[in-house]
Amino acid sequence: MSEITYVNGRYIPTGEASVNVEDRGYQFSDGVYEVIAVSDFRLVDFKPHLRRLGRSLSNLDIEWPCSERVLKIVLTQLIKRNRLRNGIVYLQITRGVAPRNHAFPIEKIRSSLVVTVSRSGRPSAQKFTEGVKVVTMPENRWGRRDIKSVSLLPNVLAKQFAVQNGAFETWFVDDEQTITEGSSTNAWIVLAGQEVVTRPLGNDILAGITRMKLIELAKAGNIRITERPFTVDEAINAEEAFITSTTSFVMPVVDIDGKQVGTGKPGSVTNNLLTLYREHFSGSEEV
């Protein structure tokens, strides 16, 4: 079956989809995006994704291309037209089409909306059972990582660094030697006493929707959560470590820079959190 893509008001075969070469997303990465999971034809955590999208647009002074109600209709229609039972929808909003100039267009232009779908993206069951490796590299991104910008070249290079080193993910490390986040994930560790630690929200990390939901689930399950920076050494010497994202769920980390974490196997706290998140994911409503 040919996939269907939405481009600025039209549902068209993906192979025929195109955008204007003077779209500022293409020229300047002047846009934002969201990745939303689909489970049993339902959008998972749609409202939190929508709120984060709104914050990103507001921070870059980009207008919504349509109302939130219409956007939901677009996404649900795309799911139906692609018969997407499980997978992800990717939506990208850019400032729009204008003659190339670094400054915003003087005349008002309409922002652009493109939405695609994917049936893949989830890691294999083996990775959840065995855990994954991560490597670290110096933080080299701009200072507003809380904006989900389409400008992802440093993240791309970081993910490629992981691939070249036989790892699943790369963690960025700031000047204080604390871990900010992964190239496409949030970073976590588990300390003695089953204390779960993750970096607090701020301009230096993305407010992951899976991160947010996991904190809610953990607190409801009386699991202690501490939001503070942690160092590479602290992570290596932790009892457990894991990463979270829309596509990675709660992924155990058993090796950091070639050094074993804990027993070298997924720990009980990580597995418990993964179970809690999977229950939320499978029972999630789209509103």
Known catalytic residues are 148
In the chain, the largest separation of any two C-alpha atoms, in whole Å, equals 60
Pairwise CA distance, residues 156 & 75, whole Å = 26
Residue 65's closest CA among 109, 18, 106, 21?
A: 109
Q: ∠46-16-67 over CA atoms, to 5°?
A: 30
- Burial class from Cβ neighbours inside 10 Å (0-12, 13-18, 19+) for residue 129 reads exposed
Please report, as a single letter, which amino acid is at residue 207: A
Six token digits for residue 227? 């939001």
Pairwise CA distance, residues 229 & 94, whole Å = 32
Pairwise CA distance, residues 90 & 152, whole Å = 15
H or E, element range at 188? strand 186-191
